[in-house]
Amino acid sequence: MMNSLVAWNNQFGVLSGGLVRCVLLVGLIIGGSLSPAVAEEIGGISGITEPVHDVILSLSTSGTVTRIFFNEGDYVKKGKVILGLDMQLETLEVERRKLIWESKAELNSAIARVATLSSQLDASRELYKSTGSISQEELEQQQLEFELAVAEKERLKISEERERIEYRIAVEQLNKRSLCAPFSGIITELLADIGETSELDVPLVHLVDTSQCLFVCTVEEQVGRTLQRGPAVNLELEAGEIPDKITAEISYVDPVVDPASGLQRVKAVFENKDGKIHPGVAGKMFISRRASDVEQ
């Protein structure tokens, strides 16, 4: 009987010791005394990746597609022409406007006339004062001719400026016939072919830049209120059989909570210059206490 009692006491001591250790472990988790790695493993938040720059390109004019310089999957640098519409009429209009603008014959003639009349008027004034060989009426007539010549010169200068602006408008109209890459990226889809008619604002090219991506997820409001732009977070992204672990930086926290779900949208930006991560894959975000702590 005595031996049984001793054995029972020993077993109770082991159980109670284990219970105490469990209570201490829970206390450490709640108190934040665990290592960051353990805390991060506990707080995985599911989300999806997407490229920072992902656009559907179109043209603000209509016409027939006559040139395509790249294929699907090609990398395009910013500013390069991807495709173009027929532009024969617009090219001719640019040339016509340029000739009109660059023609300075009338303006040069008006400038020379003003200079000549100015010299004649000065000479006449001198004669009128010194000898009186010309009448007041003749002097006033020369003064009028000079003022009219000055006015004509100013009119032609304004006309030249208008012609310059019209030339620039023609150039802009010509440029609108070409679809250029607004940023460097990869063409994922061509939505037109040579010979097809493109209407106003109809999608033509899908361009994506995967060198920088976002991890987008939603968090509880209690977590969202503690987040701010800047802190680093760890991501585990689906990239083959083994998740790829990378570091990101919180770039956006939605200030508005979705009333239906009570969740806030959060974005974290990360570099992907090697293209290892394919936007669209799922993953998890782990927020360390440094990223989620809030000053009381």
Whether the pLDDT of residue 30 is over 90: the answer is no
pLDDT per residue over 209-233, tens digit each?
999 999 999 999 988 888 888 888 9
Q: Which fold has domain 33-54+205-292?
A: Elongation Factor Tu (Ef-tu); domain 3 (2.40.30)
pLDDT for the residue 28: 36
d(C-alpha 281, C-alpha 267), whole Å: 15
pLDDT for the residue 43: 60
Other beta carbons within 10 Å of 65: 20
DSSP string, 171-221: HHHHHTTEEE-SSSEEEEEE---TTPEEPTT---EEEEEEEEEEEEEEEEH
**Summary mean pLDDT of the chain:** 84
The predicted model scores a pTM of: 0.68
Domain limits, the chain: 33-54+205-292, 87-176
Distances in Å between the Cα of 95 and the Cα atoms of 56, 102, 277, 280, 288 are 32, 10, 48, 48, 63
Q: What is the mean pLDDT of residues 85-111?
A: 95
Q: Which residues of 45-64 are buried (b: 16+ CB within 10 A; e: fewer)?
A: bebebbbbebbebbbeeebe
